[in-house]
Amino acid sequence: MRRAHGSRIREVAFDTPKGQIAEPVKTRFGWHIIKVEDKVEGVTSPFDDVKDTIRTTLLDSKKKEVVQTLVDALKEKAHLKTYPDLFAKVAPAPPAQPAPAPSVETAPPAPPAAPAAPAAKKPADKKAPAKKTTPKKNK
């Protein structure tokens, strides 16, 4: 069974005494040097304190999964053809970065911002309407 890339780093970090630098650790992302500056005891939060955060995290994850399934189905029906070699000429692909793993300790998303107040109307200038002029005919 393949190990998660962070498990070896985590193992070395927790085994290294405070104030020490661990031996370099090699992962598929390269070499890592770990210096343990401090160690803090973990805390366990009561379920009632974290259940809303857990619910939000799980619902968000499920929503993303459902949307991705729908997008994949729509792409398959659309018979899209891509030309990656042409895209590379316009803009090279950015380096791939792994997405951070969701954490139970992550704060719930902030509520949406209130809509902006409508802009105050400026008083209309009271100018006389422009007169229509017609060119005079020369006889």
Instruction: Give the pLDDT of the chain (139 residues) as one tens digit per residue.
Output: 345 556 889 999 999 999 999 999 998 899 999 999 999 988 999 999 999 999 999 999 999 999 999 999 998 898 878 888 887 777 766 677 766 665 555 455 555 665 665 555 555 555 555 556 666 666 5
Could you give the C-alpha distances from 95 to 6, 56, 64, in angstroms and in order? Answer: 19, 30, 23
Residue 16, token pair as written in the block: 């290294």
CA–CA separation, 133 and 139 (whole Å): 18
- Domain ranges (residues) in the chain: 5-84
pLDDT the model gives residue 59: 97
pTM of the predicted protein model: 0.35
Q: How far apart are CA 17 and CA 32, in angstroms?
A: 17
Q: Which letter does DSSP use for residue 121 in this model?
A: P
Looking at residue 16, the DSSP 8-state letter turns out to be: S
- Report CA 72 to chain centroid distance, whole Å: 20
